[in-house]
Amino acid sequence: MHPRHIPFFRLFLPWALGIALSIWADRPVPGLEYGLAAGAVLLFLLVRRQFHYRYRWVFGSLLLVTVLMAGYYHGLANDERRASSHFNRIPGLPTVFYGMVYELPVKGRKIKIPLRLEAAGPSASELRPCTGHVLLFLDPTPEAGRLRYGDKIWVQAAIRPVSGPMNPHAFDYRQYLHFRNIHYQAFVQEQSYGVIATGYGHCLWQMAFRWRERLLEVLRIHFPGQDEFAVAAALLVGYKDELSDELRRAYAETGSMHALAVSGTHVGLLYAGLLFLLQRLPWSGNTRRWGQTGLSLAAIWAFALVTGAAPSVLRAALMFTAYLVSKAIRRQSSIWNILGGTAFVLLLADPYLLCNAGFQLSFTAVAGIVFFYPLLQKITLPLPKWAGPGWEVLLIGVAAQLGTLPLSLFYFHQFPVYFWLSGWVVVLGGAVFLWGGSILVILSALAPQAAAWLGWGLHQWLRGMNGAIACVQQLPGSVIGGIWVDAATASLLGVFCWVLAWAVTYRKPRWLLFALALLATLGTGYFLQKHRQLRQQQITLYHVNRHLLFDFLQADKRITCADTIPPRQEQFAAESNRWAHGIRQACSLAVGQPYSGRHLWIRPPFIQFFQVSLVLVDAPGLVSDVKRDPTPVDVLILHGNPRVTLSECIRQFPCRQIVFTAANSRRRVLKWKEGCQKQRIPYWDIGENGAWEQGLAVFEPIPPS
């Protein structure tokens, strides 16, 4: 593969690097516009100039630097908040606004409505034109359930910036919305919104979403089972709102979640089935060539629109478009060039896709298949003809897994051991359902009775597929969980895998040395991380509404002290932090339960962890008896909204720091804060600032009285 054969791939690299730098730095560079204009002018002047072979690098270097600057500028300009017409320019965030629903609402405990603002102001009489996006949270009422793409609605609610994660290493929803160019949210009461008009938005999206709703109605008729309907809707139209937590977990732990997220695999299966039919039509010559191309592209792009145009589907649709057009005009193009050109175009439309997990996993999976699949085929022994298709599915799954391994560890913190086994189930089973589901949609309009028979068969097929996935999940050692990989380590691991594969495949000794240097860097980082974890002594009090959750960490062990918190809520709050600290051994205690251990001693309301002493005040009776002698502690924790004054607490428990949990009312916390400020006592408000983490080196032992 000569570099001259992959010009788009070579341009994609500086383009993506420039966008990544803009996201990381997030600040304008003075004179960037002038530098970009100067680079463009120089390129225009030098494009027809003949360079001596010795100076051939001049034009290429200038082109790469200009593309990098263009990527940086494009990434900065994409942020909605930098627009002069954004509603954050209005003095004080507006409380009355109207706009258009520009994406499909997402249903759950709250209905999430993405709204593109058109006007906003402090009152209905002071509206002014503006731009910007707001994510609305509505109660699941019948009126909210009828909202659709293209509806224009008015809203009266307070707009607030999206808050960051309240617990360490938790999922950063603010960053997730940032990469969708949403930075503000509003919680809307039932009578505080209304529909102004309907039918706006792009006609293509309106048509696609109408098709999607009709397809879902057909699937609801033929798939009465909840799990079967959920999987059918996810496979056929990319609708995942009905997936239960158990079903998501089963597919995730078997490495099959990609089957429920419409991706390039679905587009490929759709094209394969369509090509099988088109090749049997009685046409020839140019009519055959261009007819197959036109019908295939129409079907692929219709499927991409109906499924919501996810990044993975757009990638596949663009790649198939380039492949089919080049095939129609009898031109051969490198798959790497098509891959780079597709990524370039998608990032041109939305540079934040670079940080989208679906975008990253989709492109690295294809890159892994393109690079590793031929190598795996070469080392494969001859097999019987009947075993060929199954073995190819296995090799494709292994190649894709090699390409996406660093990203999978970074995003999902687990490795599905039997991904190769579940791959046979979801690829072969998904192919049968995708083709059968397409026929079902046609028959439901032409022959309802035949559609009913086919629907019954597909329903049983999906039931068997879900059962097979559940069986794979129950196999011993089916998933290796708790793997914590940060962004820097994932990046180094990805570079190491590709450099090592490149060096071994093309016998490049210098690249092999580079791979060994990367491996040494990864090993050193892992050693330092483990050394730090084995020396850790830390207390973490998590942000959990209406509950109490402590973690006492020492080396790779933790002792958890919690009340009757639901397991799912505890997992959401604390699991990622425990993985990040390398915890392997665990012990759980109930709040109020006495405990005596080597480093932890609990006698309610007192807790002693190494040299740090704490007292948990969750009832007024603990501080009402003023005749008791004062008990000095390091940290005073106020929990459960006790009716006590700060002066009473400090008189009974003199302390160095006060912590307010999220289970206290805001009014009472404000009064306590005023008392802390008057007496100059440091405090931490978990409800406002997030979880309280304390390393034990901060506190020195209290001297004996």
Digit-coded pLDDT (tens) for 408-436: 999 989 899 888 888 888 888 888 888 88
* Domain annotation covers residue 56: yes
* Domain annotation covers residue 399: no
Model pLDDT, residue 205: 84
* Better-scored residue on pLDDT, 248 or 50: 248
| Count of domains forming the chain | 5
Whether pLDDT at 703 is above 50: no
pLDDT digits (tens, 9 = 90+) for 655-676: 999 999 999 999 999 999 999 9
* Domain annotation covers residue 415: no
Whether pLDDT at 557 is above 90: yes
- Mean pLDDT across 240-262: 81
Quick one: DSSP state of residue 307? T
Contact 476, 451 (CB under 8 A): no
Enter the tokens of residue 571. 């997992």
With a pLDDT cut of 90, the percent of the chain lying above it is: 42
pLDDT digits (tens, 9 = 90+) for 483-540: 999 999 999 999 998 898 888 888 888 889 999 999 999 999 999 999 999 989 999 9
Strand, helix or coil at 156?
A: strand
Quick one: DSSP state of residue 602? E
Residues 49 and 102 in one domain: no
Torsion, CA 293, CA 298, CA 304, CA 309, rounded to 10: 100
DSSP lists the bridge partners of residue 590 as 562
CATH number of the domain within which 678 lies: 3.60.15.10
* Better-scored residue on pLDDT, 302 or 167: 167
From CA 698, how far away is CA 609, in angstroms rounded? 13
Residues 166 and 66 in one domain: no
Model pLDDT, residue 680: 92
Strand, helix or coil at 133?
A: strand
Model pLDDT, residue 517: 94
Strand, helix or coil at 205?
A: helix
Residues 92 and 31 in one domain: no
Q: What is the CA radius of gyration of the chain?
A: 30
Strands 96-101 and 111-121 come out as antiparallel
- Mean pLDDT across 171-195: 93
Element (H, E) at 694: strand 692-695
Whether pLDDT at 208 is above 90: no
Contact 139, 190 (CB under 8 A): yes
Mean pLDDT across the chain: 87
Whether pLDDT at 52 is above 60: yes
Quickly state the pLDDT bin for 684 (edges 50, 70, 90): very high
Whether pLDDT at 342 is above 80: yes
Quickly state the pLDDT bin for 354 (edges 50, 70, 90): very high
Last residue of one domain, picked from the residues 337, 364, 392 = 392
Residues 525 and 542 in one domain: no
CATH number of the domain within which 190 lies: 2.40.50.140
Residue found under tokens 């910036």: 161
* Domain annotation covers residue 220: no
- Mean pLDDT across 297-321: 79
Residues 613 and 576 in one domain: yes
pLDDT digits (tens, 9 = 90+) for 79-120: 999 999 999 888 878 889 999 999 888 888 899 999 999 999
Residues 665 and 600 in one domain: yes
Enclosing domain of residue 23: 3-77
Residues 647 and 579 in one domain: yes
Contact 274, 296 (CB under 8 A): yes
Q: Name every residue whose Cβ is closer than 8 Å to that of residue 622 and which is 6 or more positions away in sequence.
A: 605, 615, 642, 644, 652
DSSP lists the bridge partners of residue 119 as 98, 129
* Domain annotation covers residue 339: yes
Model pLDDT, residue 134: 96
* Domain annotation covers residue 431: no
Whether pLDDT at 341 is above 60: yes
Model pLDDT, residue 428: 82
DSSP lists the bridge partners of residue 114 as 135
Model pLDDT, residue 271: 79
Phi-psi region of 150 (alpha: psi -120 to 50; beta: other; left: phi over 0): left
Residues 573 and 680 in one domain: yes
Whether pLDDT at 700 is above 60: no
Enter the tokens of residue 457. 């068969």
From CA 142, how far away is CA 100, in angstroms rounded? 19
Our CA angle for 655, 658, 664, nearest 5°, is 140
Enter the tokens of residue 2. 């000569």
Whether pLDDT at 310 is above 80: no
Model pLDDT, residue 537: 92
Element (H, E) at 658: strand 657-660
Among the listed ranges 307-316, 395-404, 607-616, which one has the minimum average pLDDT value? 307-316
Model pLDDT, residue 19: 96
Residues 515 and 562 in one domain: no
Residues 51 and 134 in one domain: no
CA atoms within 13 A on the CB side of 288: 10
CA-closest candidate to residue 23, choices 358, 487, 486:
487
Whether pLDDT at 215 is above 90: no
Element (H, E) at 97: strand 96-101
Contact 134, 186 (CB under 8 A): yes
Element (H, E) at 66: helix 57-77
- Mean pLDDT across 158-179: 93
Whether pLDDT at 701 is above 70: no
Last residue of one domain, picked from the residues 346, 369, 392 = 392
Whether pLDDT at 200 is above 70: yes
* Better-scored residue on pLDDT, 124 or 558: 558
Contact 577, 565 (CB under 8 A): no
Element (H, E) at 349: helix 335-349
Model pLDDT, residue 528: 92
* Domain annotation covers residue 642: yes
Contact 614, 635 (CB under 8 A): yes
pLDDT digits (tens, 9 = 90+) for 601-642: 999 899 999 989 999 998 877 776 555 678 899 999 999 999
Quickly state the pLDDT bin for 74 (edges 50, 70, 90): very high
Residues 438-460, buried b or exposed e (16+ Cβ, 10 A)? bebbebbeeeeeebeebbeebbe
Model pLDDT, residue 322: 82
Enter the tokens of residue 379. 């080392």
Last residue of one domain, picked from the residues 77, 95, 114 = 77
Cβ neighbour number for residue 565 with a 10 Å cutoff: 20
Model pLDDT, residue 282: 75
Residues 361 and 334 in one domain: yes
Cβ neighbour number for residue 407 with a 10 Å cutoff: 20
Residues 518 and 550 in one domain: no
* Domain annotation covers residue 589: yes
- Mean pLDDT across 187-199: 91
- Mean pLDDT across 26-45: 88
Strand, helix or coil at 93?
A: coil
Model pLDDT, residue 705: 39
Enter the tokens of residue 519. 């491996």
Contact 623, 601 (CB under 8 A): no
Contact 629, 605 (CB under 8 A): no
